[in-house]
């Protein structure tokens, strides 16, 4: 699969243009972006526009002796990317002193939110081919007056997507989520026939579109232990998940389940499927992070644009230490570039 993706990229006339949002300036976002841009395998994959603060990037680069790429200032309304430089859209107030601070701040939350919105708009306008988002702090974003539980919800609202699907990729797994940031106590109400069916449709179509799999095979997890044990441990499998699977099959989606979640990710099961559809956040993220903690990627399917993100948070506790691993950011960049190239073919 990866070889096919890179062949597609080689046949593309120009490398795709990726928007990199800097994330919360008080966290490790600036550091992992700088380290990724210094990595040959990331720079070989794409051309870049950073939506962030040049002053923060310079402070982080100086603090950790990271090479700072040549930056060309551009405006959000006129994004231009030169082959030998990294463009930067730096029009949101963001004090350089936020760099390395390692805590929640109102100014950091506001800046990180505005960079995401600007990058999404650039992608919708066709100025960039994909968006790669560094981590934001949900607490900081809320403190700044933007009431959003995460990137997925911001992306859905800004793009008008009816069913964005958070999908974790890494360690040989693709795991899509029916629900995202939902409390465990609220899950039974969120696992509806319609919600499961819409997720299956999105994963089916976008696995074909962005990963080059003509007839994807999907495993669908149950919500309860042992997938409900015929109703003994819960009824969501009978009332919502199984009916959605039957309907999806009639529509041509190759899917099986409900599969007990504790066996869905075993090696034998992984070889049978191209993607797994999980019911809730930790059911999906635990196996991916276990297998690929420093290389996992968060992909949002069901959007009119390509969006990926590293599979980690702001890591305020290490923001001033210079030890952040850029592996997940590099993987997110490479995946966004491949997805953008696959998307061009359709």
Is the bond preceding 258 in cis, omega lying within 30 degrees of 0? Answer: yes
Q: Do 118 and 243 share a structural domain?
A: no
Look at residue 7 in the predicted model and tell me its pLDDT: 45
pLDDT at residue 222 greater than cutoff 70: yes
CATH number for 198: 3.40.718.10
Look at residue 318 in the predicted model and tell me its pLDDT: 97
Assign residue 131 a region: left if phi > 0, alpha if psi is -120 to 50, beta otherwise?
beta
Q: By three-state DSSP, how is residue 265 classified?
A: coil
Mean pLDDT of 143-149: 91
Q: Which phi and psi angles does 90 have, rounded to 5°?
A: -125, 75
Task: Please tell me the number of Cα atoms within 13 Å of 20 on its side-chain side.
Answer: 32
pLDDT at residue 230 greater than cutoff 90: no
Q: Do 125 and 139 share a structural domain?
A: yes
Q: Give counts: helices (H), strands (E), the chain.
A: 15, 12
Is 66:38 a contact under the CB 8 Å cutoff? yes
Q: Do 289 and 152 share a structural domain?
A: no
Q: What is the pTM of this model?
A: 0.91
| Cα(75)–Cα(89) distance, integer angstroms | 6
pLDDT digits (tens, 9 = 90+) for 97-142: 999 999 999 999 999 999 999 999 999 999 999 999 999 999 999 9
Look at residue 83 in the predicted model and tell me its pLDDT: 72
Q: Do 142 and 197 share a structural domain?
A: no
pLDDT at residue 33 greater than cutoff 80: yes
Question: Residue 269: pLDDT band by 50, 70, 90 thresholds?
Answer: confident
Q: Do 79 and 30 share a structural domain?
A: yes
b/e string for 289-304 if b means 16 or more Cβ within 10 A? beebebbbbbbbbbbe
Q: Do 137 and 33 share a structural domain?
A: yes
Note down the domain range covering 206: 163-302
β-bridge pairing 297-301 and 307-310? antiparallel
Residues in Cβ contact with 147 at an 8 Å cutoff, skipping those fewer than 6 apart: none
Q: Do 297 and 307 share a structural domain?
A: no
Look at residue 2 in the predicted model and tell me its pLDDT: 39
Give the total number of structural domains in the chain: 2
Look at residue 1 in the predicted model and tell me its pLDDT: 33
Q: Do 150 and 14 share a structural domain?
A: yes
Q: Do 310 and 294 share a structural domain?
A: no
Q: Do 8 and 128 share a structural domain?
A: yes
The two structure tokens encoding residue 336: 């966004």
pLDDT at residue 5 greater than cutoff 50: no
Is 228:258 a contact under the CB 8 Å cutoff? yes
Of the candidates 178, 132, 40, 37, which has an alpha carbon nearest to the alpha carbon of residue 338? 132
pLDDT at residue 9 greater than cutoff 60: no
Assign residue 245 a region: left if phi > 0, alpha if psi is -120 to 50, beta otherwise?
alpha
pLDDT digits (tens, 9 = 90+) for 46-62: 999 999 999 999 999 99
Sheet order of strands, 217-221 included = 71-74, 86-89, 47-51, 17-21, 130-133, 307-310, 297-301, 165-170, 173-177, 275-278, 217-221, 254-259
Look at residue 344 in the predicted model and tell me its pLDDT: 64
Q: Do 201 and 148 share a structural domain?
A: no
Q: Which phi and psi angles does 332 have, rounded to 5°?
A: -65, -40
Look at residue 199 in the predicted model and tell me its pLDDT: 98
pLDDT digits (tens, 9 = 90+) for 157-212: 999 999 999 999 999 999 999 998 889 999 999 999 999 999 999 999 999 999 98
Q: Do 41 and 117 share a structural domain?
A: yes
Can you give the C-alpha Rg of the chain in angstroms? 20
């Amino acid at each position: 699969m990866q070889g096919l993706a890179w062949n597609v990229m080689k046949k593309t006339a120009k490398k795709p243009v990726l928007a990199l949002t800097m994330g919360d300036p008080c966290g490790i976002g600036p550091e992992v972006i700088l380290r990724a841009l210094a990595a040959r395998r990331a720079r070989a994959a794409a051309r870049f526009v950073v939506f962030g603060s040049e002053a923060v990037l310079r402070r982080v680069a100086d603090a950790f002796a990271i090479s700072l790429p040549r930056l060309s200032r551009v405006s959000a309304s006129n994004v231009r990317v030169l082959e030998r430089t990294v463009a930067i859209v730096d029009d949101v107030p963001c004090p350089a002193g936020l760099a390395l601070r390692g805590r929640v701040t109102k100014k950091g939350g506001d800046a990180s939110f505005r960079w995401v919105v600007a990058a999404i708009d650039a992608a919708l306008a066709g100025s960039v081919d994909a968006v790669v988002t560094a981590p934001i702090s949900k607490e900081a974003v809320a403190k700044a007056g933007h009431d959003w539980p995460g990137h997925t919800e911001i992306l859905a609202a800004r793009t008008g997507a009816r069913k964005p699907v958070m999908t974790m990729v890494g360690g040989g797994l693709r795991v899509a989520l029916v629900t995202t940031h939902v409390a465990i106590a609220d899950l039974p109400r969120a696992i509806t026939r319609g919600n499961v069916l819409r997720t299956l449709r999105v994963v089916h179509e976008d696995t074909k579109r962005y990963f080059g799999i003509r007839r994807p095979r999907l495993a669908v997890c149950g919500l309860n232990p042992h997938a409900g044990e015929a109703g003994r441990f819960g009824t969501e499998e009978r009332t919502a998940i199984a009916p959605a699977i039957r309907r999806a099959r009639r529509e041509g989606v190759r899917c099986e389940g409900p599969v007990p979640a504790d066996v869905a990710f075993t090696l034998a099961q992984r070889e049978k499927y191209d993607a797994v559809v999980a019911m809730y956040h930790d059911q999906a993220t635990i196996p991916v992070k276990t297998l690929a903690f420093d290389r996992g990627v968060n992909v949002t399917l069901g959007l009119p644009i390509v969006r990926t993100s590293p599979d980690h948070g702001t890591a305020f506790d290490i923001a001033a230490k210079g030890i952040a691993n850029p592996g997940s950011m590099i993987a997110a960049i490479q995946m966004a570039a491949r997805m953008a190239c696959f998307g061009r073919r359709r």
